Chain A
Amino acid sequence: MEYVLIIISAIFVNNIVLSQFLGICPFLGVSKKVGTAVGMSAAVTFVMALATCVTYLLQYYVLVPLGIEFLQTVSFILVIAGLVQMVEIILKKISPSLYQALGIFLPLITTNCAVLGVALMVVQKQFGFGGEAAHFFNLGQSVVFATASAIGFGLAITLFSGIREQLELSDVPKPFRGVPIALITAGIMAMAFMGFSGIV
C-alpha cells in the first residue's frame, strides 16, 4: 500500500516539475515535439532509477560509515556523470537501436537537476504516507520513488509538448513568443496539477 501512495504522490501530488521545480531546463528545452519529449522522459526514467539506487548505496555504505557526508554533493554528481557516460557506452554496444532513440538525450541528463535532486531528496528528507510517522526511505522505496518521480517528469513534459505543438500554429503576440508563453502555459498546467493536492 505504501508503494502505491509513494507512486501517486510522486507522479501527481508532488510532481517533480510542476510543484518541485526540478528539471525545468529540459522541460522547457526539449518539449517542442512530442516525440523528443517521450524519448527524453524514457532516458530520464532509466538514469534516475539507476542513479538513485547507486547514490543510495554510496550514501549508506561509504559516506556515512566513513563520516564524510560533506562530500555528498561532489560524489553524487560524479557518480551521476559517470553513470550517464557508462549507460551511453553500454547502450551503444548492446542495443544500437535503443541508443539511436535515447543517445542524444543522455549527455543532457547530467545537468538535469531532477536526477541529482531526487538522489539528494531520498537521503536528506524524511517522508511519511498514510498517516504513519516520517522516516527515511529504504532502498526499495527510494527506487520506486525515483522511478515514479521520473514518470511524473515524463507525464508533465509529454503533456506540455502536446500543448506547445498546438501553440506553434497559433498567432502569439510577439513579446510572448517562445519561452514566455511556454512559462505561462506551464503555470496553468501547474494550477491544474494542484487539484491533485490532498489526495494522498
Chain B
Amino acid sequence: MSKLKIIANGIIKDNPTFALVLGMCPTLGTTTSAINGFGMGVATMFVLIMSNIVISAVARFIPNKVRIPSYIVIISTFVTIVQLLMQAYLPSLYETLGLFIPLIVVNCIVLGRAEAFANKNTVGDSACDGLGIGLGFTLSLTVIGLVREILGSGSAFGLKFISGDGVLAFVLAPGAFIVLGYLMVLFNKFVAKKE
C-alpha cells in the first residue's frame, strides 16, 4: 500500500467520524463552532501521529499482556504535552476546549489505531495512518462545527453574516446530535456508495 493511499483511506474510507463512528464525545462536545472543531481536530491529529510513531517503533519490545496499559501511558503522555503546550501558547483555545483535551486519552480513535494499525506496521506507514485519520477527523469536526455555527449563530469561522441569533438549538446539545446524524446520512448516501 502506498503512503498516499494510506492517507487517503483515513480521510474517506476509514473516516473516523462518519465511517468508523469512533471518538464521538469530542465530535459532539467541541463542535460549537468551526474554529473549535478545527482546533480539537488538530490536537487529536498531533496525538495520533506521535503515538502511532512511538507505538509502531516500540511494539516489538512490549509483552502482549501489558500492551494496552503501555499504549495508554504513551498516549496520555502526548496528550499532556499537547495540554501543556496549548496552555502556554493558545490559552483561549485551551479554555474553550477545556475538559476535552485530557479526554483525548480515552478517545477510542487513538487507542483503536494503535491496536489496529500501528502495532503491526512500520513507523513510516503508521505516521501516514496517523496523519490520514487525523486529517479525516479534523475535516469532519470542522464540517460539523461549520454547519452548527452557520445554523446556530449565523456565522462562519467567526464571521457573522446575519445579525442576531440563528437557531439556538443547533449550538446546544440536541443540535450536535441532529447535525451529526444528518451529515452521516448524507455521507452514507453519497460518499460511501462510491467506494
Contact = CB atoms under 8 A, between A and B. Distances in A.
B102 A180 contact: no
B108 interface: yes
A22 B76 contact: no
Interface in B14-69: 21-29, 68-69
A21 B176 contact: yes
Interface residues of A, number: 43
A191 B103 CA distance: 25
Is chain B's interface secondary structure helix, strand, loop, or mixed overall?
helix
B111 A111 contact: yes
Pairs of residues from A and B, 6 with the lowest C-beta to C-beta distance, nearest first: A187-B177, A183-B181, A21-B29, A187-B178, A24-B24, A184-B181
Contacts of B178: 183-184, 187-188
A78 B69 contact: yes
Contacts of A23: 25
Interface of A: 18-25, 28, 70-74, 77-78, 81-82, 110-113, 116-117, 120-121, 124, 174-176, 179-184, 186-188, 190-191, 193-194
Interface stretch (B5-13, B122-130, B154-162, B166-174): B166-174
Contacts of B102: 72-73, 116, 120
Nearest to B23: A25
B108 A190 contact: no
A117 to B, nearest CB: 6
